[in-house]
Amino acid sequence: MTDATHKPFVRTQMLQPSAPPLREAGVVRWLRENLFSSWFNTILTLAGVAVIWLLVSSALPWWLNGVWTAGSLSECREIIAASAGEGASGACWAVVNERWNQFIFGFYPVGLWWRPTLAFALLFAAMGPVLFAGQKRAMLILLGSVAALVLVLVTLAASAVPNEVAKVTDAPFVWKLALALALLTLGAMIVLTVMGSGKLLWFTGLYPALCFWLLWGGPIWVPVGALFGFVLLAGVYAALVKRAGPGLAAGLGLIVALVWWLFLDVPVTVALNEAIPFGLTAVQSDQFGGFLLAITIGVTAITFSLPIGILLALGRQSDMLIVKTLCVGFIEFIRGVPLITLLFTASLLLQYFLPPGTNFDIILRVIILVTLFAAAYLAEVIRGGLAALPRGQYEAADALGLDYWQAQRFIILPQALKVSIPAIVSTFIGLFKDTTLVAFVGLMDPLKGVTQIVRADINWKGIYWEPYIFVGAIFFVICFGMSRYSMYLERKLKTDHR
């Protein structure tokens, strides 16, 4: 049967694989899998396309026809009608162009804009050591950009004084001096970072007083006096902690500091100011407004609510019945009523609860109430984190012979806080959004306060999309940034191997 002349065919080379069918490759396959995998998905896709088309077709011309320079809404409309034809829709960004300063600064004196600008830029430098602890590269980038920001923004803000404005300004050399000092400080911080020193936290500690002084102005002795109280506290604590234990030392330190703040601070600072008068032009609280106000309230409340929230959460977990009951009562009360009622308490009821004749700043009152509000929510969030820890962690801390505060500091809180980071940050985001509610106690928040003023102007009557989009976009950027940062932090601190 086998024939020597007739060789059977044996393939020596592999065939090229044939291309997959068209519907199983490339774009077509992706479309089939992701958009048209079933009849229901096809309907969804078509509906999605329809929604996008609807949005784009109505918003795009409006966006493209936008006018940036005009004196009033009617002028805007004339320009749009002239350029895009009668009946065309167009955005009138001129309102943002003309009134951006009110959205950002409220009625803060024009000549002093450099002060909140500087305070805002330095805020990042102050947050750096906390947010990017131990990361040299991130810190250097941050400090470098803050220095550049300070240089550019402060110069811009200080020279942005229109001539016709009645001038409420400091002496002209003041901002240059401040700028030089700020750059010097940033330079020192950069050097310290390069050397790998942990001393940067000092700036974070000093920042609240500095920020307060820059924003409200007045004699420099007021923030110095307030800081001195903390110095006293730290001094007493350091002197007594060896002999009396941390709890008692902290308590005594607090009493000394309170005595200073309540009885000695004011006379001493007044005397000092008379001896050496040095300060910035004072700015009243009712001149604050816009995002300056929102960020001031938001950042202060965020800073102070976290420690209070932690203490409340620990109190709620405590074995001491009275402490626990008080914490639960406080938390449930605050969480049970709307923030608005608490703000009204700040504006209407504090005059009943405080000794007759006392009257203190409305922004400060609002900040206190917002801080307490956020602290109650944070306490619940942190309690969740504490409850998530296995019992063994507490027992291990006990077995190592750590006392309560040591166990909390080294074992419990680092883990509990890490678990609750996403929830903590979303509480912060909620708090920042809630700063808009201060409009209801007569402060000028960017949303209701300032936008209402702009819309009440005869030139801009009837405008609504543009100011709301502007304000909403800024809120979005800040809040979205915070949530992204929390994701970064979660990834950074992740130590498990899932």
Tokens of 113: 């804009």
Q: Which stretch binds other proteins (CB under 8 A): 12-20, 41-49, 107-115, 390-398?
A: 41-49
Please choose, from the candidates 219, 211, 224, the residue with its C-alpha nearest in 3D space to the C-alpha of residue 278.
219
Q: Which is nearer to other proteins, 84 or 479 (CB)?
A: 479
User: Under DSSP, is residue 289 helix (H, G, I), strand (E, B) or coil?
Assistant: strand
Q: Which stretch binds other proteins (CB under 8 A): 20-28, 157-165, 220-228, 314-322?
A: 314-322
**Residues 10, 321, 456, 458: which binds other proteins (CB under 8 A)?**
321
To other proteins, the closest distance from the beta carbon of 269 in angstroms equals: 25
**Residues 110, 140, 179, 326: which binds other proteins (CB under 8 A)?**
326
Instruction: Enumerate residues 353-382 that contact other proteins by CB under 8 A.
Output: 353-356
**Residues 20, 24, 32, 37: which binds other proteins (CB under 8 A)?**
37
Q: Whose structure tokens read 């060789």?
A: 7
Residue 348 binds to other proteins (criterion: CB under 8 A): yes
Residue 442 binds to other proteins (criterion: CB under 8 A): no
To other proteins, the closest distance from the beta carbon of 267 in angstroms equals: 23
Residue 349 binds to other proteins (criterion: CB under 8 A): yes
Q: Which stretch binds other proteins (CB under 8 A): 67-75, 76-84, 166-174, 315-323?
A: 315-323
Inter-CA distances, 65 with 73, 98, 252, 320, 391, Å: 14, 18, 67, 66, 63
Residue 341 binds to other proteins (criterion: CB under 8 A): yes
Residue 390 binds to other proteins (criterion: CB under 8 A): no
How many residues sit close enough to other proteins to count as binding (CB under 8 A)?
Answer: 59
**Residues 170, 265, 434, 466: which binds other proteins (CB under 8 A)?**
434
Summarize as ranges the residues that interact with other proteins (CB under 8 A): 33-35, 37, 41, 44-45, 47-49, 51-52, 245, 248, 319-323, 326, 332-333, 335-341, 344-345, 348-349, 351-356, 429, 433-434, 436-437, 439-440, 447-448, 451, 462, 464, 468, 471-472, 475-476, 479-480, 483
